[in-house]
Amino acid sequence: MPYTLRWTLTVTEPVTSCGFALTARGDLNGTGRWTFEQDGPETVITYDWRVSAAKPLLRRLGWLLKPAFAANHRWAMARGEESLALELRRRRHAGDPEAVPLPPAPTFRRLARRPA
């Protein structure tokens, strides 16, 4: 969906080997907690994100458009996962910048406002 959400994150509990906590303020307000757990040679990362909408579009039409917002969220998270996978591959191939393609550009770049 062609809308932009903006928020500021503030770390509220320091980053440690077990995780950290933060707050969100803006179009989304609430808290988040990252936890890191070692599982053999890998790390399991969990993000518990509890926010509520402050943006008028989301507050006023959320009840009606919930299925569309949910589908849009799944789509956006899948694009984020793809970009994160590319970034991790790029870091593994640091000696050859051409080995991994660049992540996709923002979908609605023309709608994004530049920070003031």
Per-residue model confidence as pLDDT tens digits over 61-116: 888 988 988 898 899 889 889 988 888 888 888 777 677 887 777 776 655 555 54
pLDDT at 63: 86
pLDDT at 10: 97
- Average pLDDT of span 26-44: 94
Unique residue bearing structure tokens 């998270």: 77
Q: Whole-model pTM?
A: 0.67
> Which residues touch 15 (CB under 8 Å, ≥6 apart)?
none
- Average pLDDT of span 19-27: 96
Tokens standing for residue 3: 């809308």
Distance of alpha carbon 105 from its chain centroid, rounded? 15
Give dist(CA 61, CA 12) in Å, integer.
31
Distance of alpha carbon 93 from its chain centroid, rounded? 24
63: amino acid identity, one letter: W
pLDDT interval class at 48 (50, 70, 90): very high
φ/ψ of 15, rounded to 5, equals: -70, 125
- Radius of gyration over alpha carbons of the chain, in Å? 17
Domain ranges of the chain: 7-96+104-111
Confidence check: pLDDT of 47 > 90: yes
Name which residue leads in pLDDT, 49 or 104. Answer: 49
